[in-house]
Amino acid sequence: MVTIKSEKEIKLMKEACRITSLVYKEIEKVIKPGMSTMELDKFADKIIRENGGIPAQKGYPSGQKGVPPFPATLCISINDEVIHGIPSQKKIINDGDVVSIDLVVYKDGFHGDAARTFLVGNVSEEAKRLVDITKQAFFEGIKYAVKGNRIGDISHAIGEFVEKNGYNVVREFQGHGIGREMHEDPGIPNYGKAGRGIRLEPGMTLAVEPMVIAGNRDIYEDYDGWTILTDDGSLSAHYENTILITEKEPEILTLV
């Protein structure tokens, strides 16, 4: 069921999104070669809690029998890891790494969700281009996130832009509605046909998130039951924001 948020609910949701945005601003200042991903995770956890929020991904159930809930605040995925990488004291960020981070903050009954990919140290031109295209794919998609359009219009724009630039989108995972729940209807694929899916209405809040692979689009799940990797070992990038559908242009809630 797709939920339409009231002005009061949107105000509360904006606060969760503000904290999400703040965390990324602070991560950008400190992320560097030699850091463990657990060090970065603890850094983010502290900022969230100091601002009255809760790290919503921590303890999130996997939905798979025998796989424990997600144990950390951040999903940190490096290079060929697409999404859902688990932070560890032993997992060190190296010079030249492509580091994708996904974060969801919960506060006062609502969620804010965003992902960023950081280029650490001396990275390749290939990596820079991949991250640029992934970010731009989000903005190409939300050009169509306006009242009266359909979900498929966003999906089609993202997929077309990515493929036109020689990359592939992940098809097994997608964006989603967001609000009181981390994952709400509707699902928002990063590919598809324009003119399909539900019609967009003011008050809808959506997490739009291109996940882009430099090589072929095949992926696999690691033994930990969470981490998703590219099948051919190619680089991957992730960019996401929570947006609000309005009477005019979409409002990006996690760019504060």
Q: Tell me if the bond preceding 186 is cis, omega within 30° of 0.
A: yes
Q: Cis link prior to 69 (omega < 30° from 0)?
A: no
SS3 75: strand
pLDDT computed for residue 64 by the predictor:
86
Predicted confidence (pLDDT) per residue in 109-146, tens digit:
999 999 999 999 999 999 999 999 999 999 999 999 99
Nearest 5°: the CA angle 121, 125, 130 is 95
Under a CB-based contact definition with an 8 Å cutoff, are residues 80 and 234 in contact?
Answer: yes
Reading the block at residue 113, the tokens are 């969700």
Write out pLDDT tens, residues 12-53: 999 999 999 999 999 999 999 999 999 999 999 999 999 999
Span 211-222, pLDDT tens digits = 999 999 999 999
Q: In what order do the strands lie in the sheet with 184-188?
A: 184-188, 175-177, 205-208, 241-244, 251-252
Residue 256: predicted pLDDT: 76
Q: Kindly report the three-state secondary structure assignment for every residue of 11-24.
A: HHHHHHHHHHHHHH
Q: Which domains can be identified in the chain, with CATH numbers?
A: 7-252 (3.90.230.10)
H or E segment and range at residue 74: none
Average pLDDT, the chain: 97
